[in-house]
Amino acid sequence: MSRPFRFGVNLLTPAPADEWRAKCRRAEELGYDVILVPDHLGMVAPFPALVAAAEATRRPRLGTFVLNAGFWNPALLAREVATTDALTGGRLELGLGTGYAQAEHEAAGLPFGSPRERVDHLERTLAELERLLGSEELPHAGLHSRGATPEPRPARSRVPVLVGANGDRMLRLTAAHADIAAFTGARPGTTPGTLEPLRAEELDERVARYRALAADRAEPAELNLLIQLVAVTDDPEPALKPLLESLPGLTVDEALALPIVLAGPLEDVVAKARAQRERFGFSYLTVLEPSMEAFAPVLARLREEESA
C-alpha cells in the first residue's frame, strides 16, 4: 500500500523578517507539510531561518534540504540540530548531502575534496550525529566545569534524517542511516556545479538499487523526489524552454516525461504525480520556491483524492 502524500517547499530567497514570516505562513496556508531551506552561500542561513519559520507557523515540519556536509563540523552541527529542534518544538527534519558546488567551498575557504572524500565526511558526520544526539550530553570544552549549564538537547529522542543521494555509496549510506531517502532525479553535469536530469528508466534503476540495499531495514524509509519544474497549463512548451535550451537534443515530449518535471493541464500533472508514487514510491514531493503557488492546486487535488 502506498504511503500518503507529503509535500514540501524549499524556500530559496532571503527576505526581511516580516516578509520571511509571511512567506512561511503562505506555505502553511497552501497546505505544505514541510517548509525547507537550502544550504548555499547567498541564500538563507538554515537554522535561524527555520526557527523564524517555526515562530510564524504551527503545523508544518521544518527541514534542511539539504545541508552541505562539507560546511559543517559534526560536533558543532549537533549543537545546531539540538537547539533548533528544541526551539521549534520538535518539528525539525535534518536533511544532509555531500555538496556539489566547488565554487562555494572555495568562497568559504573550505576544502572541496574528491567525491570519495566528500562521502567519507558525510559518513563521519552521520555517525557522529547519531552518537552525539543519542548521548546524555553533548560534548563541551569543560571551561565551565563547575556549575556548568546543560548542553542543549533535541525535543525528541531522534530527529528524522533525510539523505539526498544518487550514487551507489550514497545510496548505501541512505539505506543505513536515513528515515527519508531523497532522490535528486539528476546526476552531476559536465559543467562543474550543474546537474543533468535522469530519465525515468535511469531513476528506476537507482530506486531499485536503493531498495536492494535497504532490504534488511526494520522499517522502510519514506521516498522523496525534488521536482525541479512545475507548470500547470494547457501549453507547457514555453515553461519548458529553459530546460530545452540547457539540454540540446531533448524534445518537448522527452522533457515532459522527466520525473523531475510536472507540466501540463492539471489533470495530467495530478495523474503523473500519482503514477510516479506507484512506479517509484515517491510519496514525499518537494518543489522549489518559484513553484510554490503553481503546485498548490496539484497538492490540493491529490489531498482531496486521498481524503475521499
Residue 260, domain member (yes or no): no
Q: What is the pLDDT of residues 229-248, one digit of tens each?
A: 999 999 999 999 999 998 98
18 lies in which domain range?
A: 6-141+151-228+266-307
Residue 124, domain member (yes or no): yes
Confidence at residue 299, expressed as pLDDT on a 0 to 100 scale: 98
Tell me the β-bridge partners of 196.
Answer: 187
- Domain count of the fold of the chain: 1
Confidence at residue 137, expressed as pLDDT on a 0 to 100 scale: 53
Residue 239, domain member (yes or no): no
Residue 199, domain member (yes or no): yes
Contacts of 228 (CB under 8 A, 6+ apart): 185, 186, 197, 260, 261, 288
Confidence at residue 135, expressed as pLDDT on a 0 to 100 scale: 66
CATH number at residue 97: 3.20.20.30
What is the three-class DSSP state of 297? helix
Residue 12, domain member (yes or no): yes
Confidence at residue 144, expressed as pLDDT on a 0 to 100 scale: 39
Identify whether the C-beta of residue 20 lies closer than 8 Å to the C-beta of residue 49: yes
Confidence at residue 138, expressed as pLDDT on a 0 to 100 scale: 54
Confidence at residue 293, expressed as pLDDT on a 0 to 100 scale: 98
Residue 259, domain member (yes or no): no
Residue 246, domain member (yes or no): no
Residue 234, domain member (yes or no): no
**How far is 53 from 22, CA to CA, in rounded Å?**
9
Within the chain, which residues score under 50 in pLDDT?
140-148
